[in-house]
Amino acid sequence: MNTTHQYQHLINLFDRCFQDDFQTRLIKGDDEPIYLPADETSPWHRVVFAHGYYASALHEISHWCIAGAERRKLVDFGYWYCPDGRDAVTQNQFESVEIKPQALEWMFSVAAGFPFNVSCDNLNGDHEPDRIAFQRKVHAQVMHYLENGIPARPARFIAELQRFYHTPPLTAAQFPWPEDLR
């Protein structure tokens, strides 16, 4: 068991960063991830990640960090999701909306000293995604954030991860070009 990267650490760090200012909690789920706004059952907005998986928590946090105030009032931010088994057109749509979240997830992973793997998430589709091409787009978004500034919520979470895991400030050198990952 990995004692360095436990999902409970992420819950504590996320809650420390966002519970008071955004009335939002990170929750370990038993099934599929989902975002649930506050309702009659809970005074908290809830970012629910799958099965206690550390990587799932990082990914769901990245989606929350991108969602604006109005989207955060909607279940799953009001986004469309087409499950695994996508055709080429649907896969391209899926990848286009996953670039920014996966760029943030990669940055969170580096800040936590945790391995990152880009996910095309289409194991049962009739279209074989070009994983390297997709990772190039994610890489370009990471470089854009590093050069132009990381938005406030993800920057706050990155700083919290760096303090907890004692990792250095993010630099372009920490994000290898996709061909280097083979």
Q: Which of 13, 24, 9, 4 is nearest to 158 (CA)?
A: 13
Q: DSSP for the chain?
A: --SSS-HHHHHHHHHHHHHHHH-EEEEE-SSS-EEE--BTTBSSEEEEESTT-HHHHHHHHHHHHH--TTGGGSGGGG-----S---HHHHHHHHHHHHHHHHHHHHHHHHHT---------TTSSS---HHHHHHHHHHHHHHHHHH---HHHHHHHHHHHHHHTPPPP-GGGS--GGGG-
**Mean local confidence (pLDDT), 164-177:** 95
pLDDT in tens, 56-70: 999 999 999 999 999
Percent of the chain scored above 90 by pLDDT? 70
pLDDT at 117: 85
pLDDT in tens, 116-144: 988 756 444 454 567 788 888 999 999 99
Q: For residues 147 and 133, give the distance between their C-alpha atoms in angstroms, rounded to a whole number.
A: 21
Check if the beta carbon of residue 52 is closer than 8 Å to that of residue 6. Answer: no
pTM here? 0.88
pLDDT in tens, 65-107: 999 999 999 999 987 665 555 556 655 566 667 899 999 999 9
